[in-house]
Each structure stands twice: as C-alpha cells, then as structure tokens.
Chain A
Amino acid sequence: MERIFKLRPMEQVLVQFLLLAWALVVAIPFGLAFINSMKGSLGQVIRAPFSLPDSWQLENYAAAWEMANFSGYFMNSLIISVGTVAVAVLFSTMAAFVLARVEFRGNRTLFILFMIGVIVPLRLAMAPLFVVVQNLDLLNSLLGIILVQAASMMPVAVFILSTFFKHLSPEIEQAARVDGALPFQIYWKIVLPLVKPAIATVALLSFVSAWNEYLFPLLFLQDRSLYPLTLGLQEFQNEFAIQWHMMFAGLIIMMAPTLIAFLLASKAFIQGLTQGGIKE
C-alpha cells in the first residue's frame, strides 16, 4: 500500500519538476501583473517586462481608484454581490425548507420546475430575459441585476439546500410543533442553524458568481455610474489599453478581493466551488 504512494528521491525530483513547471505557468501572469503595475511608465513595461520596477510606486493604483472611478465600480460590485447573496440565501432556504420538509400537492412538480433551471442555462434565454426586465422597469438599475442574479442562483441553491434539509432528522422539528411552534419559528430558530454549512456554500457560490458576472450587467446597465468592476474594467481597458502599467494596476484591483478571500478561506472555496460546479 505505502509503496504506491511513496516516491523514491529520483521520482520525487521528476514529480517536483513537472508540478513546478505548471506552478510557474499559473504564477507568472500574476507576478507580471503585480510588478508591472508598480512601474512608472509604459516604456519600462515594454522594455523589460520581467524586471522589477526602478522605483516601486502606487501611483497607478491611486489614479485608477480615483480618476478612473474604480471606487465607484467597486461599490457597485459590492452592492450587487451582497444583495444577490442576501436575496438568494433567504429565498432559497425558505423555499427549500418547505419543499424538503412538507408534503403537499404539487411539491414534486415545483421541485421539477426548479430543476429545469439547472438543466437549461439562463444565458440561453437572454432575449426574453431582457424583455422581462424591461417590462418590469428594472433596466439600468442595480436592483434588476440583483434579482436576475439571485434568480439564476435559485435552482442550484434549492438543490444543494434541499439535499441538506432532507437529511435532517424530523424529530426536533416535530417536538417543536407539538409545543406550538409555527413554521416561521421552526425555520428561523431550528432548521437554519442546522444547515449552516450548506448556507455557507450557497452564499459563496452566489457571491463569486455575482462578483464575476459580465453578461447580465452588460445587457441591463447603461449608466456608467452603475457599472460593476467587470464592466468598469472593460471601460478602463478601452481608455488605457495602451498604458499597460495602468491596465495592470486595474487588473490587480479587480483580482485582489477574490484572491485575498481565496487565500483566507481556500478550503471553503475549493470545496464549495467544486460542489457548485458539479451541480450546475
């Protein structure tokens, strides 16, 4: 048994060589973005992309943050992501709780309707989705984006959560009912605390997908003042495509929050995103 997993020193060297090669392929782009974002001029970037800046400076970041309005884009991304997480988590836990714990006529049909959303990606319905959003007067509003994003998360969220809810033992809940607890109380005080890990997964999935989403804001937002980072970065690229040092700084601003969150909670990210990816 041990023999299979144990590597002899020569083998270890070979394995390390291969892994290191890919590690470099992954790491070098980040490294390049970082060192070049600190350079003072395009000339330095083009002349020697792999060398460290003559003098490290944060001016590019300040310029992007203030002049190019990254502060505004950042806030919009935050509002969209937090709003999406709140709506998606609240509505999906409520619905999944009833779907998984209560027998009623139409339960199975409703569940299958939710599964249609897993089967057919919402992007394929972009034309009618646009019409729906337009008719509800939600074009060009962050609320519209939040609702669409949250709705697109519902199928996966309901699926993940209802699996969890089904595995809870019904006894505590029944005891609470006997004591006269109503569904609101059972949901809020008894059931929710028991499915915290699933809620964390759903919240993580919703946040990452809302933060990274490009298509829905592109379809529904017209005002630059409402743009999230994804569209903002594109605007920035239109303006500063030639000024690579600025562009790299913009990229780092866009990537930093995700990378920091990932490094702080890598286990949750890897598990949650892998699980969410499988369910989609």
Chain B
Amino acid sequence: MPHAPSPDDYSDDLSAELLRSDVKKTQGLSFRQKEKLQYALLLIPGCLLYGIFNLLPLIGTLVLSFFDWPGIGPATFVGFDNFTKLLTDAYMSDQLWNAFQQTFVFFVICISIFLGLGTTFALLLSWNTAGKSAYKLLFFMPYPLAAVAVAFLGQLIVDVRGPINQLMMHWDLISAPLMFLGEADTALPTIALFQSWQKLGFSIMLILSAILGVRADLLEAAVLDGASRWQCIRHVVFPVLAPAFVLITILTLVDVFNNAEYVLILMGPDAGPYYSTDILGTFQYRTAFGTSGGSGTADLGMAAAIGMVISVLILPATIYLALRNMRNR
C-alpha cells in the first residue's frame, strides 16, 4: 500500500522548488517532485499572463504617475508634480473638476433609472404576471450587446431627422426638432439614457432575484397578520432589497467612473460639444493619447496620475465589493 501523502507533505516551498527544478531532469524525479513540477506548470502560465498584462500595468500606473513622459524619449522623475498640477493648475484642475461633475451627473441619471424603474419592473414581474418570461427575455436583451452598436443605434434614433423627432413633430409636442446630441445641455443626459436603456435589464434581474428570495414564511406571517399587499411590499420586501440596491449602486459607480466607451464612441476624445460630455474616462484617454485631431501632446505620466485619482475615488466601493465576494466565497 503506497503511502498517501497528507496535504501537508507537499505544502512547503512549491515556488522555491519550481525555480530550482529543471525540466530536463524530469525523468529522474520522484513522484513528489514530479507532482510539484506539474503543479507549478499549471499555475505559472496564468500568473504570467495576469502579471504581465494586468498587474504590471496597474503597478506601472502608480510608478508612471511620478514621471513626466510623452511616450517616447527619456522619462523624468517629477515627484508629485503631476498630482500638484492636476489639482492646482487652472487648466488641468478645471478639466478634472468638469469631468468629475459630469461623471457624477452621468452616474446619478443611470442609478435613478436602475433603482426606480428597476424596482418597479422587478415588482411587476414578481407577481403572476402574464407573459412574465417573455418580458424578462426582452428586458435583458440589450444588455449583452456591444456599446458601439447601442450607441450608434441610439444616435440614429435621436437624430434631428430621426424617428423620435419626427414623432414628436407629428404629435405637435415640439415646434422644431431637438438636437439631443448636438446641444451642450442635452448631450450628456442623452448618452446616459442610452447606457441606462442598455443596462436596465441587469438591475431588474438582480432586484427580481432579491424579491423572489424573500423568505416565503415571512410573507405568509405578514399575510396572516392581515397585512395588505402594499404593506407586505413596504415592510417585508423593501428591507430585504437594501443589499441589492447597494450592490447596484456600487457596480454602476465603478462602471461609470472607469468606463467611458459611450462618450468615446459618440463624441471622440474631445467629448464635445465644448467638453460638455467629458467624463473622467475621456479626460484620461485624451491626456494619454491626445485629441482626435492629433493636436495636443500625449502625457502618459499625467494620464497615470488621473488613473490614480480615479482609482482612489472608486477604491472604497471596489474594496467593499471584493470583501463581499470573499465573504460569499
């Protein structure tokens, strides 16, 4: 009967062993050595891939934010200069503040829709509604689509000569077509609505599964005590939805603060008209790679500093998420 090694037997220095082990010698290795080698070979490719293309750039952001570097030639160490400039230089801090405010507006529009409409539709779908599964399917349908497709589709539909304007003109709601994406006042909300339209299905599903997860016995007890449907919703269902609301809020926050796809696609890095759609993601992109006209200098150090600022802004939210995930693990 062969000795069955306990997990402790091969617990120590797998990593050290790996470095020493030589593939050519595999022939003469004992079972334990072969085992360690194979574990290492399983582990290393993923670590390298992630390390080089994900972790290294993340660390690089921290390092690069202390350098002045246009992307070619030597980089100069400048200490906290990028951060000082970003926060105090009139031109830079104006852009940062403008982008931050607009990101926040974008976030508020999305989150109001996700929580407001999301809860409404999830509640409606939680009853014995006819056609429930067809509605669920349809509401989720835009979610897996590419942002590019949704953005261009939206652009055509809200165009000056597009269906929405034609319809509103036809019903005499407006006297002249609206330039949804062309006016500084309406461009950002319009883009936020596109994104909300695409992603509402996700919130509906999350809230719906929270509602369906309300313990049946709680509801039953409430009903036996003579609670009306609204009282059940108000006092039994809503309190249980709080975690789902927090989760949706945080996911939306992280998404809006780091992902500027919609604005980049529709408005380019200049985030027109007149920077009215500029959000943190486009500000960072423009700083790193220049404007769409090719003018403006690339400033990778400054872009990294902006990346650091955004990271700090969303860090509490993402750490909360990570801890939550670890706990549920």
Q: Which residues of chain A come closer than 8 Å to B8, judged between CB atoms?
A: 103
Query: How many A residues face the partner with a CB closer than 8 A?
Result: 113
Q: Is B176 an interface residue (CB 8 A)?
A: no
Asked whether A279 is an interface residue with its Cβ less than 8 Å from the other chain, the reply is yes
B140 interfacial contact with A, CB 8 Å? yes
B152 touches which of A19, A98, A124, A251 (Cβ 8 Å) = A251
Contact B284 A182 (CB under 8 A): no
The verdict on B19 contacting chain A, using a C-beta distance below 8 Å, is: no
Contact A105 to B14, CB < 8 A, known contacts A183-B42, A214-B264, A269-B140: yes
Q: Which of B46, B120, B131 contacts A158 (CB 8 A)?
A: B46
Q: Taking CB as reference atom, which chain B residue is nearest A26?
A: B138
Is there contact, CB below 8 Å, between B54 and A152? yes
Measured between alpha carbons, how far is A158 from B38 in the docked complex, in Å?
19
Which B residues are CB-close (under 8 A) to A151?
49-50, 52-54
**In contact, A178 and B2 (Cβ under 8 angstroms):** yes
Measured between beta carbons, the chain A residues less than 8 angstroms from B54 are: 117, 122, 151-152, 154-155
Q: List 14 A-B contacts (CB under 8 A).
A: A6-B128, A18-B121, A19-B121, A19-B124, A33-B153, A94-B43, A102-B10, A103-B7, A117-B55, A121-B258, A122-B54, A131-B57, A152-B53, A214-B265
Q: How far is the CA of A162 from the CA of B144 in the complex (A)?
A: 25
Residues of B within 8 A of A183 (CB): 35, 38-39, 42
Q: How far is the CA of A98 from the CA of B130 in the complex (A)?
A: 48
Contacts A121-B254, A214-B148 given: A22-B58 contact, CB under 8 Å? Answer: no
User: Which chain B residues lie closer than 8 Å to A262 at the CB level?
Assistant: 140-141, 144
Which of B94-102, B181-189, B215-223 lines the interface with chain A?
B215-223
Binary interface profile of A, 210-249, with partner B (CB < 8 Å = 1, else 0)? 0110110011000000000110011001000000100110
Q: Are B49 and A104 in contact, with the CB atoms below 8 A?
A: no
Leading 3 A-B pairs by shortest Cβ distance: A128-B60, A95-B46, A151-B53
Write out the residue numbers on chain B whose beta carbons fall within 8 Å of the beta carbon of A131.
57, 60, 64, 71, 300
Number of interface residues of B (CB under 8 A): 113
Binary interface profile of A, 116-141, with partner B (CB < 8 Å = 1, else 0)? 11111111111111111100100000
Q: Which of A58-66, A193-201, A252-260 lies at the interface?
A: A252-260
B88 close to chain A: CB less than 8 A: no
Pair B140/A32 contact, Cβ less than 8 Å: no
Distance A152 CA – B147 CA, assembled complex (angstroms) = 18
CB of B5 to closest CB in A, whole Å: 7
Determine how close the nearest CB of chain B comes to the CB of A144; give it in whole angstroms: 9
Query: Which residues of B have CB within 8 Å of A158?
Result: 46, 50
With a cutoff of 8 Å between Cβ atoms, the chain A residues found around residue B120 in the complex are 18
Residue of B120, B131, B156 contacting most chain A CB atoms (<10 Å): B156
Instruction: Give chain B interface residues in 1-41, CB to chain A under 8 Å.
Output: 2, 4-5, 7-8, 10-16, 31, 34-35, 38-39, 41
Contact of A233 among B49, B149, B319 (CB under 8 A): B149
Expressed in whole angstroms, the Cα–Cα distance for A182 and B38 within the complex equals 8
Q: How far is the CA of A122 from the CA of B38 in the complex (A)?
A: 30
Q: Which residues of A contact B232 (CB under 8 A)?
A: 4
Q: How far is the CA of A260 from the CA of B15 in the complex (A)?
A: 46
User: Is the beta-carbon distance between A7 and B127 smaller than 8 angstroms?
Assistant: yes
From A22, which residue of chain B is reached at the shortest CB distance? Answer: B121
> Smallest Cβ distance from A8 to chain B, in angstroms?
10
Q: Could you say which residues of chain B place their CB within 8 Å of the CB of A114?
A: 50
Chain A residues with Cβ below 8 Å from B55 are 113, 116-117
B residues sitting closer than 8 Å to A (CB atoms) are 2, 4-5, 7-8, 10-16, 31, 34-35, 38-39, 41-43, 45-47, 49-61, 63-64, 71, 117, 120-121, 124-131, 135-149, 152-154, 156-157, 161-163, 166-167, 197, 202, 205-206, 209, 216, 219-220, 223, 229, 232, 247, 251, 254, 258-259, 261, 264-265, 281, 284-285, 288-289, 300, 303-304, 307, 310-311, 315, 318-319, 321-322, 325-326, 329
Q: Are A212 and B147 touching (Cβ within 8 A)?
A: yes
Contact A18 B325 (CB under 8 A): no
Q: Is the beta-carbon distance between A258 and B129 smaller than 8 angstroms? A: no
Q: Is the pair B147, A214 in contact by a Cβ cutoff of 8 Å?
A: yes
Interface centre among B129, B138, B152 (most CB of A within 10 A): B152
**How far is B71's CA from A24's CA once the two chains are assembled, in angstroms?**
49
Q: Given A128-B56, A148-B53, A212-B146, answer yes or no on A12-B318 (Cβ-Cβ < 8 Å).
A: no
Q: Which residue, A49, A187, A248, has most C-beta atoms of chain B within 10 A?
A: A49
Residues in B with CB closer than 8 Å to A110 are: 43, 47
Max chain A C-beta neighbours (<10 A), residue from B61, B148, B289, B322? B148
A117 touching B50, Cβ below 8 Å: yes
Which residue of A19, A116, A127, A258 is within 8 Å of B145 (Cβ)? A258
Contact flags (1/0) for A1-36 with B, using CB distance below 8 Å? 101111100001001101100110111011011000
Taking a contact as CB atoms under 8 Å apart, the answer to whether A132 and B152 are in contact is no
Instruction: Pick the residue among B50, B57, B71 that contacts A155 (CB under 8 A).
Output: B50
Do B58 and A230 touch across chains, with their CB atoms under 8 A apart? no
Chain A residues near B43 (CB, 8 Å)? 94-95, 98-99, 110
